[in-house]
A and B are shown apart, each in its own frame.
Chain A
Amino acid sequence: MTEQVRNGLVILQPTSFCNINCNYCYLNDRDKNNRMQLSTVEQIAQRIFESPYFPEEANLLWHAGEPLTVPVSFYEGAISIFNRLNFRKIKLNWCIQTNGTLITPAWCEFFKKQEIDIGVSIDGPQQYHDANRVDRRGKGTFMRVLRGIKLLQDYDISFGVLATISRKNIKSAEAFWDFLVENKIVGVGFNEEEATGTNQSTTLGYNEVLEDYRAFLEALIRKKGDLSRDLIGIREIDNMLDRILQADLPVISDLVTPLATLSFDYLGNISTFSPELLGLVDPRYGNFKFGNVYRNSIEDVLRSPKFHRVNANIQAGVRRCQKSCDYFDICGGGNPSAKLGEHGSFDVAETLNCQLGVKTVFETVARALEHRLEANIGV
């Protein structure tokens, strides 16, 4: 397996706490101020560097709860530990996904010095963002996020944004595009609101949602003018375009491949597959913690009986996808956390997450390509 699989992403949860309280958040302990200790960071680093799953480089993302509620000094210490233990000289790519409300000049200086990739969560123009992304008093956070974005730009720090698509903003494509242009935002990704964790239902579970999402993406493509990633990159469109143009390569989904995505919580617990699983508790499986860095190597995860049970069910679900879904070759087997959230089982095929994030995206991008090629416009 080590020859076939390499890790694509490590998610480090420095705290479970988040300073805001979004309506669709799935995190259980976002009101608890649990924090990762630097001794835990050291254990994680040791486990990563002794693992064969990181041959050349590692993408390390601080995410969930809000990473900037932990002081800059913690991250300075953590990066210093990783650099000291990196005896194999693996290339380390650091990323932080933040709600943007706590960005200060001190953070910007740190981001710049350490060359950290930044993702800011914002759901579009104020009326859409503030409908869901609220603080603990229920007040919208848009102006605070925008202040953080302006600070990043003042410091010439590159960043992209992640937006959650819900029923509140799914019809806002044109306003969304204008918002990106006005605020000089050059990369955006869309996550669909999922029924998972503490968010038991999604506002996207209505009849016309697929048509609405297709119209949303089509409007963005129209606004963009072409399908290239010049000026503003749209992750869903860019990734699908890449996948269509590289269809002769086999698809491997990191979400269903053991250890391809690794998540560590503040206590050093280890999980894999969909990152959302680390914080979940399920009546059938219990939690999805397959080991702990103080007791286990990363390879020990593969020997955990709980891992075997979960993996067997996830792979059964992937086989169902392969057998029943025409889109398998561009997807690779779905998202386990969405399967569990929507159906209570990994051993299922289609989810709303597939219908939106794979099928609708493919149909929209493929139609745009077909139209351009038939009209001889070119890709």
Chain B
Amino acid sequence: MSEVLKDTNLSPDGCMSPEKPNSVLGRINRIRRLSGIEAGILKMTGTFAEFRQGLGGHTVFNKKSFDQFKQKAEDKPKK
């Protein structure tokens, strides 16, 4: 990217973009586009209406992942 466009809201071709491409939001949006999230290809895992930060600090575990782990272990062919 040219020095002129660095730290602006302009994309490399000079068009306006909603965020700086190398900003956190710019990178997130690019990942979402590439992964198909925005097109609904990748399924969302969250259940809350908003994303909550802070819950994880003191609780680490949920039974669902343990049950999935157990199921996978049981599904593996026995040698």
B48 vs chain A, min Cβ distance (A): 8
A158 touches B66 (CB 8 A): yes
Is residue B56 within 8 Å, beta carbon to beta carbon, of the partner chain? yes
Contact code string B18-32 (vs A, CB < 8 Å = 1, else 0): 000001110111111
Is residue B39 within 8 Å, beta carbon to beta carbon, of the partner chain? no
Contact code string B59-70 (vs A, CB < 8 Å = 1, else 0): 111110111110
**B residues within 8 A CB of A159?**
61
**A residues within 8 A CB of B61?**
95, 117-119, 158-160, 187
Is residue B55 within 8 Å, beta carbon to beta carbon, of the partner chain? yes
B58 touches A97 (CB 8 A): yes
A-contacting residues, B29-53, CB 8 Å? 29-32, 34-35, 37, 42, 44-46, 48-53
A117 vs chain B, min Cβ distance (A): 6
B-side residues, CB < 8 A to A, are: 23-25, 27-32, 34-35, 37, 42, 44-46, 48-63, 65-69, 72
Is residue A92 within 8 Å, beta carbon to beta carbon, of the partner chain? no
**B residues within 8 A CB of A378?**
35
Q: Whole-angstrom distance between the alpha carbons of A243 and B32 in the complex?
A: 11
Q: Using A187-B65, A366-B27 as known contacts, say yes or no to A373 and B58 having CB atoms under 8 A apart.
A: no
Closest residue of chain B to A332 (Cβ to Cβ) is: B53
B54 touches A253 (CB 8 A): yes
Interface size class, chain A: 35 or more
A-B contact pairs, 5 of them (CB 8 A): A9-B54, A9-B59, A187-B66, A230-B72, A247-B28
Name B46's contact: one of A97, A233, A246 (CB within 8 Å): A246
Contact code string A13-33 (vs B, CB < 8 Å = 1, else 0): 000000000000000000000
Query: 6 tightest A-B contacts by CB?
Result: A160-B61, A254-B54, A158-B66, A189-B60, A160-B60, A373-B34
**B residues within 8 A CB of A231?**
69, 72
Closest residue of chain B to A374 (Cβ to Cβ) is: B34
Contact code string A179-213 (vs B, CB < 8 Å = 1, else 0): 00000001111010000000000000000000000
